[in-house]
Amino acid sequence: MAKTKKKLSLTIWIVIGLFAGIIAGLLLQGHADFANGYIKPLGTIYLNLIKMIVVPVVTLSIMQGVISLQDIRKVGTIGGRTILYFLCTTALAVVIGLIFANILNVGAGYVLPAGDIEYTASEAPNFMDTIVNIFPSNIIAPFANATMLQVIVVALFFGFGIIMAGDLGKKAAEVVDSFAEVSFKIMGMIIKISPIGVFALITPVVAAQGVEILLPLLKVILVCYVGYIVHAVLTYSSSVAAFAKMSPLKFFKEMSKPMIFAFSSASSVGVLPFNLEASEKMGVRKEIAGFVIPLGATINMDGTAIYQGVCAIFIAQIFGIDLTIGQQLTVVLTAVLASIGTAGVPGSGMIMLAMVLQSVGLPVEGIALVAGIDRILDMGRTVVNITGDAACSVCVNAWENKREAKLAAKAAAAPAEE
């Protein structure tokens, strides 16, 4: 009897692609032009395919989620809990970044006068402009430009409209379900080539950055990654264990595939299909995952918040500036508000950091010091961002189950009382 060969899982193939890319990048050091010219385009094609399907997946997932909830008030309850979770974990993330940056003296030994470097900060939109820009003036532009906050708003309104149309909206709901299934099948085809995409994305990064260029700023990278790991392990483990009674080991096991892809691609939006799949495997209802995770990919930035806290202390220390406790609390508040205020803006990490530095009077030119290693930092912070989205979906799902159980128990008790 012939032995059947056990196929390697996609996660294992992605890990193989990641390590093969690192090895190839090390071998191609000094030949970054070759890596960028002939290997990176394969990764770009892969990301383009992911981006192509992300907008329909997000739109249809949110519409399905809203329609299946069948109650606009229920959407408000879930949305409120989701945003509250994101705000709390983001605030905690900044605090963790500040604590480790202070304890480990992240900027010690790098004293520079403020005139030695330059960086021109992009102008961040003010709060009211951000609110106005969430609502599109036409229905085509958000989809053409992949402006995710506007896409989410359009999906919510059409979902609400289908609910309010009652019986006449049922055909529209069936069309949404049909197109959603088609989109998910396309997404499945694209995901199968992930190992090649991961290899092609990581190789040019390693080939270009190398090891030597990282040494002067190695401490910044190490402190950021300590913060990333502590926040991911402690905050998300405790929240899924306390609120959803889920084993943290199970949570991180299911999240391994999205986390690996997030690390190699540094794209929260690109990881959406993996994150939706992992959340549903952990028992999160499709409608809740389809609502929480696309929203989180747009506004939840825990990893970015840690990066801001560390970089703020680093830049302060290299310019010989001591931040008071009050100024560090200002960093926390600004980072939390900026995480939503600059959502969807290209290069939002740098814009957010500029806002944080300006809020406490630090030289914005200091961003130039971390700009060279931003890709390395971005890889880790993207992992934290998408893990937070999944943890939120697990917790919101548990809260919603409890709420429904209480309502069911109250309804069952009512006839008995009569």
pLDDT at site 25: 87
- pLDDT-above-70 percentage for the chain: 83
Region 84-93 average pLDDT: 91
Region 166-173 average pLDDT: 89
Q: Whole-angstrom Cα distance, residue 369 to residue 372? A: 7
Q: CA distances (Å), 206 to each of 13, 34, 35, 260, 376, in order?
A: 19, 13, 9, 16, 9
Q: How confident is the model at residue 230 (pLDDT cuts 50, 70, 90)?
A: very high
Region 317-329 average pLDDT: 83
Please check whether residue 94 is in contact with residue 332, taking contact to mean a CB–CB distance below 8 angstroms. Answer: yes
Scan for tokens 């959502």, then name that residue. Answer: 343
Region 227-254 average pLDDT: 93
Q: Whole-angstrom Cα distance, residue 409 to residue 40? A: 57
What the block records as the tokens of 1 is 């009897």
Higher-confidence residue of 7 and 25: namely: 25
- pLDDT-above-90 percentage for the chain: 20
Q: Whole-angstrom Cα distance, residue 180 to residue 188? A: 12
> Residue 404: is its pLDDT beyond 70?
yes
234 Cα distance to chain centroid: 18
Burial class (CB in 10 A: 0-12, 13-18, 19+), 128: exposed
Residue 291's nearest CA partner among 95, 104, 69, 119 is 69
Please check whether residue 300 is in contact with residue 389, taking contact to mean a CB–CB distance below 8 angstroms. Answer: yes
> Residue 185: is its pLDDT beyond 70?
yes
Region 16-31 average pLDDT: 86
> Residue 69: is its pLDDT beyond 90?
no
What the block records as the tokens of 276 is 């939706």
Q: Mapping DSSP to helix (H, G, I), strand (E, B) and coil, where does residue 125 land?
A: coil
Q: Around Cβ 189, how many Cβ atoms within 10 Å?
A: 10
Model confidence, pTM: 0.70
Residue 41's nearest CA partner among 187, 181, 196 is 196
Lowest mean pLDDT among 71-75, 142-146, 337-341: 337-341
Q: How confident is the model at residue 208 (pLDDT cuts 50, 70, 90)?
A: confident
Describe the chain by its helix, strand, coil percentages, rounded to 5: 80, 0, 20
Residue 338's nearest CA partner among 116, 93, 69 is 93
Give the angle subtended at the CA of 96 by the CAs of 92 and 98, to the nearest 5°: 115
pLDDT 10s digits, 242-276: 999 999 999 999 999 899 888 887 777 778 888 98
Q: Whole-angstrom Cα distance, residue 340 to residue 352? A: 10
pLDDT 10s digits, 101-151: 999 888 776 655 544 444 454 555 555 776 787 788 888 988 888 776 688
CATH topology of domain 10-412: Proton glutamate symport protein (1.10.3860)
Mean pLDDT rounded to a whole number for the chain: 81
| Alpha-helix residue ranges (DSSP H) falling in 70-147 | 72-103, 127-134, 141-145
pLDDT at site 299: 76
Higher-confidence residue of 204 and 370: namely: 204
Residue 215 DSSP one-character state: G
Contacts of 147 (CB under 8 A, 6+ apart): 136, 141, 344
pLDDT 10s digits, 276-315: 889 999 999 988 888 888 888 877 888 888 988 898 888 8
pLDDT at site 204: 86
Higher-confidence residue of 207 and 109: namely: 207
Domain definitions of the chain by residue range: 10-412
